[in-house]
Amino acid sequence: MPYKIAVASSDGENIDLNFGAAHEFFIYEVGEQGGYALLEIREASKEAGGPSFCQDGCKGGGCEGSHVNPPRVDFITDCRCVICKKIGFHIQKQLEKKAVSTFDVEGRIEDAMEKITWYFHRMDHHQSIRGMVNGTLKGKGGKG
């Protein structure tokens, strides 16, 4: 079954923004066979916390305040997971309650998407994830 992944990026190539600092999310759709494509660029609207999600309660390192702000979470609950440089504990817990996984990653979108879609594919098909060696996939140019 296809699913979506939200990525916090300033340039569409690198995961370089914290969840709270993202003005937009790149939404990828992952198909049945694990391939993915950019579906949309979802901009932060007034209903989703304004031009930046990071407002009251933030201390420079991400959203850590104990405030509840459902629009920040509801903005991406149609996605299976969120990939960002860093995400605050309280926002992460709110997303988990909505069955949205979070990944703190910094690097190229392409690299992260390959690993995360591989992981979800294996989990969905009840297969072992032992094919990952030192952060690299076996048989995909990695060692092993």
Tens of pLDDT, residues 77-111: 999 999 999 999 999 999 999 999 999 999 999 99
**Mean pLDDT computed over 55-73:** 51
Show contacts of 38-42: CB within 8 Å, 24+ apart: 38/12, 39/4, 41/12, 42/6, 42/75, 42/76
For residue 104, the cross-strand partners are 84
CA angle 14, 20, 9 (to 5 degrees): 15
Token digits of residue 128: 């072992």
Residue 44 has pLDDT above 80, yes or no: no
What is the residue type of 63? C
Span of 16-25, 46-55, 71-80, 85-94 with lowest mean pLDDT = 46-55
Put simply, whether the predicted model's pTM sits higher than 0.95 gets the answer no
